[in-house]
Structure 1
Amino acid sequence: MTKHAHSGSEADHLWQMLVGLVWETRGEWRRKVSTATGLPFSRVRVLKRLLDAPVTLKQLADMTDSDAPATTVAVNDLEDRGLVERQPHPDNRRAKLVSLTPAGRRLVELVHRTVRDDAPLAVQQLSKTDLAHLRRILERINSHET
């Protein structure tokens, strides 16, 4: 048995522990985001995807792992609220670009400023040595993902 074949089940177990830890903290953070914005989290997620640059509805659907009809509903709602706007695509007459309005940008910035996303207490209580090991391991994993 090779080293990698034996370690697969252990790697899978550790991965599930990591996913569980992250998953458990996301619900509370999402509620905080929704409370701060008055919007469902799914709408804020759309706004955050538009921070860097305007995108087409299709691109936005892909970025949010959503289908075109659901993305259209979300964009319509955000447009009605004055948080996004549609503009003609410069290169494709059939497509529209969706972009943040100044109010949409302010809302995303509000979330960044006011909704803390602190590490769970168990992570905060790790020793400096353990945190250094965790950083080294995560950086190694991230370098393989790119």
Structure 2
Amino acid sequence: MNEHTDADQDSRLEAATRVYAVMRHLVLESDDRRGEVAEALGMSFGRSKALRALAAGPMRMSELTAKLTTDKPYTTLIVDDLERRGLVVRSVHPEDRRSKIVTVTAAGTAAAAVAEEILARPPARMLALDAEELAALERTIAKL
């Protein structure tokens, strides 16, 4: 009976791997949303990622570094650029003068919204599915 279980697990792993490969291709490769965001905003996708994170609320530089999974010097370069563009401002943290808080500006909020609009748009291949297929996909993905 253990052999059947192992075979079943192998089969499920293979199926999950195939499905994930299709999902990954659909989201990351078939529509170059990252490139579209970079072009629309005139900045790297990494900078737009920082801007979108900051649009959710002000953050310490250390929090932004952790969110972006970068190092401190690179986060500083990103924030310097976003600040030059008028998309964010830095200020001293009110409770810890050694710490800086980064806050998005109105222009930064608008740019982040453009990025989110592009990233939220479903791929054309998904829009080609009929209502029943979309409902089944939605039910399945809701379980994840």
What CA distance in whole angstroms lies between the structure 1 residues aligned with 2:77 and 2:119?
Answer: 29
TM-score norm. by structure 1 comes to 0.82
Residue 144 of structure 1 aligns with which residue?
none
- Residue 86 of structure 1 aligns to a residue whose secondary structure is strand
What CA distance in whole angstroms lies between the structure 2 residues aligned with 1:106 and 1:18?
Answer: 29
Confirm or deny that 1:8 pairs with 2:13.
yes
- Structure 2 alignment gaps of length 5 or more: none
Residue 89 of structure 1 aligns with which residue?
93
Contact 2:55 2:108 in 1 (8 A): no
- Aligned Cα RMSD in Å? 2.0
Q: 2:58 aligns with which of 54, 61, 70?
A: 54
Deviation at 1:52? 1.8
Deviations 1:104-144 (A, max 9, x none): 2232234456x475322321111211111100000011xxx
Count of matched residue pairs: 139
TM-score norm. by structure 2 comes to 0.83
Relative contact order, CA 8 A, sep 6+: which one is greater? Answer: 2
Confirm or deny that 1:23 pairs with 2:28.
yes
Q: 1:138 aligns with which of 133, 136, 141?
A: 141
Percent identity over the alignment is 31
